Chain A
Amino acid sequence: QVQLVQSGAEVKKPGASVKVSCKASGFIFSTYAFTWVRQAPGQGLEWMGWISAYNGDTKYPLNLQGRVTLTTDTSTSTAYMELRSLTSDDTAVYYCARVESGIIDSWGLGTLVTVSS
């Protein structure tokens, strides 16, 4: 079955970077796109961008462009999200998810990233 296994929780200091991984199994990785969505404590969902595992095309929201980078490694069926220049506002659960024809059809369990001095 479809599985998206994310890396463990992280604690980072302001100004640092974080890279979260998402290992996929149960389907042909390179035929899908992947998206990342974050959720600050008690808040709603925020889209962080998507990447095609087929050709590496990406799209990011304007408010995160330049600070977030999505990549994939087809040899290991893993998607990555790197976020730089962290502030306390970046404290959130970060979800990776599989995308088919624009539809987010499977989600990882989430990775908690805490930014604190």
Chain B
Amino acid sequence: EIVLTQSPGTLSLSPGERATLSCRASQSVSSTYLAWYQQKPGQAPRLLIYAASTRATGIPDRFSGSGSGTDFTLTVTRLEPEDFAVYYCQHYGSSRWTFGQGTKVEIK
């Protein structure tokens, strides 16, 4: 089973700053099968990025994904107030799916 490790656990930033979130896989995964989700308190997660770098419908272009192999990154170029949330990466290949443990982006 692939283990996804996200870092940092918490990111304290101000609105307008750049956020860089990391997701590291325990073994190489196809970038085709790597997604990112955003979750706000009391809400279901929302798909942001799939296939490592493709934005889901309606997702602003300040969100971008990159990476390959074992190292993947979610970048938010300029944080808006509504972007403060928890972010999860997920592997969804043909094997069993897994989520990272999450990165909380909080207001500094």
Residues of A at under 8 Å CB distance from B?
Answer: 35, 37, 44-47, 50, 59-62, 95, 97, 102-105, 107-110
Q: Which of B56, B88, B92 has the most CB of A within 10 A?
A: B92
User: Given contacts A102-B33, A107-B44, A108-B44, is CB(A47)–CB(B99) below 8 Å?
Assistant: yes
Nearest CB in chain B: distance from A3 CB, A? 12
Q: Is the interface of A mostly helix, strand, loop or mixed?
A: strand
Bound complex: CA A50 to CA B93 (Å): 12
Q: A44-B88, A61-B1, A109-B44 are in contact. List 5 more A-B contacts (CB 8 A).
A: A44-B99, A47-B90, A62-B1, A102-B93, A105-B56
- The reply to whether A47 and B47 form a contact with Cβ atoms under 8 Å apart is no
- The reply to whether A104 and B92 form a contact with Cβ atoms under 8 Å apart is yes
- The reply to whether B96 and A104 form a contact with Cβ atoms under 8 Å apart is no
